[in-house]
């Protein structure tokens, strides 16, 4: 669990009152003459409830008095005892320290590891809550949730217990040198000051705090974030993820790396988003460089869309200088990712050197262009720095829906099959072979085998054999958007190569080519079924 997650969890935990009397030197708890500055909402609610009980009790007593057979003990209700039972220990000893509302807060001065000021950037309106920021960090994305704890946690603040009035020795509470000093300034000119000390040795859910010279126990969950340094309140989200209604189409992603001789370039495939693919891929993007290939939807999503919502393991530095960026390797990045969206925005994320973050995580220094923050992104999240084309491709060769085919030219040596198709679905689709009527189902079964063909291994940076391909298949779609040629070459032994539009793309077993040649040979023999496997 991260530091922030731990803090957030504590926000919701219920505190238990602790009595520091176990150790001989532990301070005694003052339980008499508590200086009340006001009543908490719970106490006010309790008083109202008790008042109601008094009225109800009176009514009940009157009824019982009318009943001559009622026992005398049933005619009396001890309201004060009942009220005392309803109060838990915390409520009995609670001391209101600050009755000012968070809505009236103007600014906060915090001194801990860092010294910084939180102030109201814009006041609350009917449509929006008040907005706060940190002085000098107005251009830095801040974690709104954690910032709000500074505004809310010490407003309308009550202590669980008064520990000691005006103690001579503050060191036993960790308050001679406080962990944090806080001053809250409100719109009406009121200031509320407190210091945060040690966690109670008897109950970690309570922390010692000093207010007006007295020492109190206050819920640790309320005090935790006042002890955090400045960087804790910076948002570690590198690029916010848009909501569903405003989520743009990622039209392209280009990955450039120093350890690759080529770019990995992916494009949004508008046609693939329509439900018209059989045996192909459900991914919305296809690989264009270094070769054409369909993408595996599960394996490619983090690469194509992972920049949205990307979270850093830490903020390495805000407002880094040129020298800082050089030391981090950002001036000559190891990896650059460019994501272009259909809303006109283009995002460029640069990865520099690797290093070990404060929590021990292996990370890359990274910068999102247009921001003034040096992030530390965990290696496990920096998928673009290690991805290979074969990691994200689906290995499918053909992905066009059969009823979308306008023409399919198949050439194997001297044998050539030319199919021409028309129609949009099985009921109205017609096809001819070499100019003559062809059985549509026979054609569909033949093409079904091509859909089953997949590349077993990417074949990059290699030359094709000088000979003609053993089989060549040229496909064109009826809408004109797809026009590609897939060629099969036997390379000797049990191996073969598949090329798409003349570019070597995959290795495959030669038995696949043999099976395709067999299916071409028997096409006109309707009594013989096509072979669908070659393994």
Answer yes or no: do 51 and 85 share one domain: yes
Answer yes or no: do 507 and 419 share one domain: yes
Domain assignment of residue 84, yes or no: yes
Domain assignment of residue 475, yes or no: yes
Q: Is the pLDDT of residue 31 over 50?
A: no
Q: What average pLDDT score do residues 113-124 get?
A: 91
- pLDDT tens readout for residues 273-316: 544 443 344 578 989 998 888 888 889 999 999 999 999 999 99
Domain assignment of residue 332, yes or no: yes
Domain assignment of residue 534, yes or no: no
Q: Residue 210: name the closest of 184, 172, 178 by CA.
A: 178
Tell me the two tokens of residue 367. Answer: 């910068």
Q: Residue 20: name the closest of 185, 166, 178, 162 by CA.
A: 162
pLDDT band at 72 (very low <50, low <70, confident <90, very high): very low
Tell me the two tokens of residue 84. Answer: 């005392």
CB 146 within 8 A of CB 4: yes
- pLDDT tens readout for residues 409-423: 999 999 999 999 999
Answer yes or no: do 317 and 349 share one domain: yes
Provide the pLDDT for residue 90: 53
- In percent, how much of the chain has pLDDT > 70? 80
Which of 200, 233, 266 corresponds to the end of one domain? Answer: 233
Tell me the two tokens of residue 123. Answer: 């006041």
Residue 437 lies in domain: 402-521
Q: What average pLDDT score do residues 355-360 get?
A: 94
Provide the pLDDT for residue 7: 46
Provide the pLDDT for residue 264: 96
Answer yes or no: do 220 and 145 share one domain: yes
Which of 177, 210, 233 corresponds to the end of one domain? Answer: 233
Parallel, antiparallel, or unpaired for β 250-257 and 264-268? antiparallel
- pLDDT tens readout for residues 214-255: 999 999 999 999 999 998 999 999 999 998 889 999 999 999
Domains identified in the chain, total number: 4
* Measured distance CA(147)–CA(160) in Å, rounded: 24
Provide the pLDDT for residue 161: 93
Tell me the two tokens of residue 338. Answer: 């460019």
More confident residue, 89 or 494: 494
Domain assignment of residue 443, yes or no: yes
Answer yes or no: do 329 and 406 share one domain: no
Answer yes or no: do 406 and 366 share one domain: no
Q: What average pLDDT score do residues 443-461 get?
A: 89
CB 532 within 8 A of CB 444: no
Q: What average pLDDT score do residues 4-16 get?
A: 44
Domain assignment of residue 11, yes or no: yes
Answer yes or no: do 226 and 155 share one domain: yes
Provide the pLDDT for residue 285: 92
Q: Is the pLDDT of residue 133 over 60?
A: yes
Running DSSP on this structure, what letter comes out for residue 132?
Answer: E
Provide the pLDDT for residue 412: 95
Q: What average pLDDT score do residues 428-442 get?
A: 95
Q: What average pLDDT score do residues 190-216 get?
A: 96
Answer yes or no: do 82 and 191 share one domain: no
Answer yes or no: do 158 and 189 share one domain: yes
Q: Is the pLDDT of residue 91 over 80?
A: no
pLDDT band at 48 (very low <50, low <70, confident <90, very high): low
Question: 286-312 burial, b if ≥16 CB within 10 A, otherwise e?
Answer: bbbebbbbbbbbebbbebbbbbbebeb
Answer yes or no: do 149 and 60 share one domain: no
pLDDT band at 66 (very low <50, low <70, confident <90, very high): very low
Q: What average pLDDT score do residues 339-361 get?
A: 96
Identify the weakest region by mean pLDDT among 18-32, 204-218, 455-469: 18-32
Domain assignment of residue 382, yes or no: yes
Provide the pLDDT for residue 63: 39
Running DSSP on this structure, what letter comes out for residue 372?
Answer: -
CB 393 within 8 A of CB 399: no
No. of helices (H) and no. of strands (E), the chain: 11, 28
Which of 212, 233, 254 corresponds to the end of one domain? Answer: 233
Answer yes or no: do 353 and 427 share one domain: no
Answer yes or no: do 214 and 309 share one domain: no
Most confidently modeled of 267-271, 379-383, 497-501? 379-383
- pLDDT tens readout for residues 473-517: 999 999 888 899 999 999 988 999 999 988 888 999 999 999 999
- In percent, how much of the chain has pLDDT > 90? 61
Running DSSP on this structure, what letter comes out for residue 454?
Answer: B
The whole-chain average pLDDT of the chain stands at 83
Rg of the chain over all Cα atoms, to the nearest angstrom = 36
* Measured distance CA(529)–CA(292) in Å, rounded: 31
Domain assignment of residue 529, yes or no: no
pLDDT band at 135 (very low <50, low <70, confident <90, very high): very high
């Amino acid at each position: 669990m991260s530091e922030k997650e731990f803090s957030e969890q504590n926000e919701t935990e219920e505190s238990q009152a602790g009595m520091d009397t176990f150790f001989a030197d532990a301070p005694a708890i003052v339980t008499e003459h508590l200086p009340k500055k006001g009543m908490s909402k719970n106490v006010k609610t309790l008083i109202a409830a008790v008042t109601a009980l008094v009225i109800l009790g009176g009514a009940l007593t009157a009824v019982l008095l009318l009943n001559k057979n009622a026992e005398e003990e049933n005619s009396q209700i001890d309201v004060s005892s009942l009220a005392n039972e309803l109060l838990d220990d915390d409520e009995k000893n609670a001391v209101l320290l600050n009755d000012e509302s968070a809505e009236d807060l103007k600014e906060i001065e915090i001194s801990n590891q860092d010294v910084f000021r939180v102030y109201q950037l814009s006041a609350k309106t009917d449509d929006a809550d008040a907005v706060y920021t940190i002085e000098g960090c107005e251009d830095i994305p801040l974690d709104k949730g954690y910032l709000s704890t500074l505004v809310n946690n010490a407003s309308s603040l009550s202590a669980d217990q008064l520990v000691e009035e005006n103690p001579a020795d503050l060191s036993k509470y960790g308050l001679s040198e406080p962990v944090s000093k806080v001053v809250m300034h409100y719109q009406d000119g009121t200031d509320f000051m407190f210091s945060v000390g040690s966690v109670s040795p008897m109950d970690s859910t309570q922390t010692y705090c000093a207010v007006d010279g007295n020492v109190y126990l206050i819920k640790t969950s309320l005090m935790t974030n006042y002890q955090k340094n400045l960087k804790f309140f910076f948002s570690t989200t590198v690029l916010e993820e848009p909501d569903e209604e405003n989520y743009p189409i990622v039209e392209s992603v280009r990955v450039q790396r120093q350890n690759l001789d080529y770019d990995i370039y992916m494009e949004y495939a508008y046609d693939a988003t329509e439900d018209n693919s059989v045996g192909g891929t459900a991914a919305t993007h296809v690989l264009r460089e270094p070769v054409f290939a369909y993408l595996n939807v599960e394996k490619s999503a983090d690469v194509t869309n992972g920049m949205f919502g990307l979270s850093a393991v830490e903020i390495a530095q805000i407002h880094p200088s040129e020298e800082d960026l050089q030391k981090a390797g950002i001036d000559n990045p190891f990896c650059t990712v460019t994501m272009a969206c259909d809303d006109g925005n283009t995002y460029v994320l640069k990865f520099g050197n690797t290093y070990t973050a404060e929590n021990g995580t292996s990370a890359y220094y990274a910068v999102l262009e247009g921001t003034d923050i040096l992030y530390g992104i965990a290696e496990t999240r920096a998928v673009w720095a290690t991805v290979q084309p074969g990691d994200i491709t689906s290995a499918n060769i053909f992905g066009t829906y059969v009823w979308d085919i306008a023409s399919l030219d198949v050439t194997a040596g001297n044998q050539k099959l030319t199919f021409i198709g028309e129609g949009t679905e099985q009921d109205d689709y017609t096809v001819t072979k070499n100019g003559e009527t062809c059985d549509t189902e026979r054609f569909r079964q033949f093409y079904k085998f091509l859909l089953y063909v997949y590349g077993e291994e990417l074949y990059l940076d290699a030359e094709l054999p000088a000979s003609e391909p053993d089989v060549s298949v040229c496909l064109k779609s009826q809408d004109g958007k797809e026009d590609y040629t897939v060629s099969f070459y036997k390379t000797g032994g049990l191996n073969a190569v598949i090329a798409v539009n003349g570019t070597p793309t995959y290795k495959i077993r030669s038995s696949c080519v043999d099976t395709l040649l067999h299916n071409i040979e028997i096409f006109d023999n309707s009594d013989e079924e096509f072979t669908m496997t070659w393994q």
